[in-house]
A = this chain, B = another copy of it.
Amino acid sequence: MRRRLGAAVDLLCYTGGSTLDARLVNVEFLPAGKTLRVERGTVVAGALLAAGLKSGMPCGGRGRCGKCRVVFKSGVPEPTPAETDRLTKTELDGGWRLGCTATINQDAVIYIPNGSGAAKILTHGTRRRVLASPSIRKKHITVEAPSTADLRSDLERVLGSLGIEKSPQNIELPFLRHLAARLRESNFSVTAILADGELVDIEPGNTESACYGAAFDIGTTTLAAYLIDLATGDEVATASAVNPQAGVGDDVISRISYSTSRTDGLANLQSLVLQEMNSLIKKLSDAAQISSSHIYEVSVVGNTCMTHLFLGVDPASLAQAPYVPVVRQMTALSAGELGMGINPAGRVHVLPAIAGYVGADTVGVVLASSMYNNEELTLAVDIGTNGEIVLGNKNRMLACSAAAGPAFEGAHIYCGMGAVAGAVDAVWLDEDGLGFSTIEGKSPAGICGSGLLDAVVCMLKSGVVDEGGRIADPEELPQEYAFLKDSLRMGGNGREFILVAKEKSATGEPIIITQRDIREVQLAKGAIAAGIYTLMGRMGVSAEDLDKVILAGAFGNYVRKESALGVGLIPNVPLHKLHSVGNAAGEGAKLALISKDMRGDAARISNEIEYVELTTDAEFQQRFADALIFG
C-alpha cells in the first residue's frame, strides 16, 4: 500500500548530465526553479532530498500526516491509495499529491507550496473558480489636448475619451489635484482607472496590464495575504505574518479590554494591524515585482473583533452580552482614507459579518464552499478559540459560534505549544508502538492542537483514557496495550501520560498529557460538538443527512480526519464526506476580491443565514453536557 521513504532515498540521482538513459526523467521543482534528473519511479520526497530542498515529512514518509503536499504541474502520476484517502477530488484533479507517496514516472514540473511541511501559517485553501469580474478596470486612452476649438475642462476631456457622459458620482480630491499634471506630463496619453465604470483616477502612459488586488485574512493570531491579478483572477504571490496585536493579548477579549481601558488603545491596535498589512503589501509587491500603487482593491475577512479593530471601530460591545457588533455590512471604503498602502484611489471591501462572534471569516468559508448554492446538506466547521459552525444548503443556513477555548491551539495545555517547529503535530499507534512526528522534524518541545487530538485518540484506543475522560490505572490497561504501562504515572494533579520520554525531548523534560489536559480537550470538543448538534437539531437533521462536512482553518487542515471523528468532535460520517479545505476564509476573501458577484453573494449570506445564539440556548447546555463524553 504505502511506500516507505527508505526505498526512495537510496535512488541514484543525477543533477544534470546528458546520459540519454531511458530509466531517467527530468523533474523541475518550483518555486525554487531547481531541475534534476532522477530514476523513473522515484518518490518526490527522495528527489527533493537529492535536490537539497526541504523534504517536509513530519510523519517520516508514512503517508499519514498529509503535510508533504505538492502540486504536479505536469507529469501527474495516478493517485496512491493514501492520497485518495487524504486528498479531496478537487485537490487530486488539480495535481495535488503527497510528497512521501507520489512517484515521478515521467518528466515532471512539481510545485512545492510554501506551507508544505514548513511554514504553518495557512495561506492556501481549496480553490473555487469563479469568473474574474472586479470593480476595477483599466483603460488606456489618448486624450485630445485643449485647443481654441475644444475648451472642455481636463475632466471632461478624459471622460469624453472614455465615452462617459456624466461626471463621476463621487470624485476624489487627490485625483482632481494631479489630473492636470498627469495629463500633461504624459502628453495626454494616460490609463484611466475605472471603478464600477466610474472614473476614479488616471495614470501616465499605458499601465493597463498592471491591475492587482490583495486579499487579507486577519486572524487573531496570524495574517495571511494574497496578491491577485485582477484581470485573470490568478494568485501571483502570498505572504503571511504574525498578527502584531498579539503583543497586547493573545485573544479577542484581551484586545477588547486593551482597547477600552486606554485612551489610545483602539488607535494603537488599529495602527498595529494596518502597519503589518502594509508591510505584507510591500512583501507581495516585491515578490511579484510590481508597484504597490498598481494594487487597487483590497478585500478583508476576519472575525468580527478583528474587522472592527482593522476599521478602528470600537469593539467594546462584543465583550458584553448580548455581544452585538457595531457594524455587520458596509460598502467599499476608501483605501486612502483608511491608510492602506495601495493606490490611494483604491477600494477596501470588508466582507460582512453574521454576528458578534460569527465574522466575515465565516462568510468567507461559506462563500468558498459554495454550500449556499448547493442542494447538498453541508456542515462547515472552522475551529479556533471559537468554533464557527455553519449548517445548511441553498434552502436554509444556520450558524453559531461555540466557545471552544484555546486547547486546539495548544494553549492552556500543560505541554501545549503553537504549531511551530518542534511541536508534536501527529501521534499514531501501530505495530511499532506509539509514534509521533514534529513540525520541521525538530526535537520535540511540546504538543500542538493536531498532535493533542491524535494523542487523545491513541489514549482512547489503548484504554489509557476512558470515554468519560478519566486516565486509567496502569493495571486497567488491556493486555494488548500493556506496553504503555510505563507511560502512565501519578503527577501532582492526578494521573499523567508520558508521550515523549525526557531523553527524547528537546527540553530534557518529558512531554506529558495531564488529566486536566484531557478535561480541556473534552470541554473544547464538547462545545463544538454541542454547537453542531444544536444546529442539526434546529434544522431537524441527523448525521446520516449530512452530505458533506468541511473542516476549515489551520487546525481543520492539519488535524487527521480520523482523529476528529475518533474523539467525536464532529458527527460520525464516512471519511469520504469529510474534507479539509485549508484556509477557506482566505479563499472567500480572494473570491470577494476578484468578483462583484461574489461580494453580492457574501452580503446575501450575511443577511440570510440564521444566527443561533448558544449562550442563552437551553438545548445547547444539555447537548454540551452530553458531548463531554468522548466518541
A contact residues vs B (CB 8 Å cutoff):
146-148, 150-156, 167-171, 173, 176-181, 311-314, 316-317, 321-331, 333, 337-338, 353, 355-356, 611, 613, 616
Contacts and interface: CB of A to CB of B under 8 A. Distances in A.
B173 A312 contact: yes
A311 B146 contact: no
A242 B179 CA distance: 30
A326 B613 contact: no
Given A147-B322, A171-B331, A316 B180 contact: yes
Contact of A177 (B150, B312, B330): B312
Contacts of A328: 153, 155-156
A151 B322 contact: yes
Contacts of A316: 180
Contacts of A167: 329-331
Given A154-B317, A181-B314, A327 B170 contact: no
Residue of A170, A180, A330, A337 with most partner-chain B CB within 10 A: A180
Nearest to A267: B177
A324 B146 contact: yes
Given A170-B331, A173-B312, A178-B314, 6 more contacts: A153-B328, A167-B331, A168-B331, A169-B331, A177-B312, A180-B313
Contacts of A176: 311, 313, 326-327, 330
Contacts of A177: 311-314
Q: How many copies does the complex hold?
A: 2
Contact of A324 (B153, B326, B329): B153
A151 B331 contact: no
A332 to B, nearest CB: 9
A156 B312 CA distance: 18
8 contacts: A153-B328, A154-B317, A154-B324, A170-B170, A171-B330, A173-B337, A177-B311, A177-B312
Contacts of A338: 173
Contacts of A327: 153-155, 171, 176, 179
Contacts of A313: 176-177, 179-180
Contacts of A147: 322
Contacts of A171: 327, 330-331, 333
- Which are the 5 A-B pairs with shortest beta-carbon distances? A146-B324, A153-B328, A154-B326, A180-B314, A153-B325
Contacts of A173: 311-312, 333, 337-338
A150 B317 CA distance: 14
A311 B327 CA distance: 32
Contact of A326 (B148, B179, B323): B179
A151 B326 contact: no
Contacts of A325: 153-154
A178 B314 CA distance: 8
A156 B330 CA distance: 11
A178 B313 CA distance: 8
Nearest to A179: B326
A153 B607 CA distance: 12
Residue of A155, A181, A323 with most partner-chain B CB within 10 A: A155
A573 to B, nearest CB: 31
A150 B323 CA distance: 11
A516 to B, nearest CB: 32
Nearest to A149: B322
A325 B611 CA distance: 54
Contact of A322 (B146, B154, B312, B321): B146
B146 A317 contact: yes
Contacts of A616: 148
Residue of A321, A324, A338 with most partner-chain B CB within 10 A: A324
Contact of A151 (B150, B179, B314, B611): B611
A164 to B, nearest CB: 13
A148 B179 contact: no
A337 B334 CA distance: 11
Contact of A180 (B151, B326, B333): B326
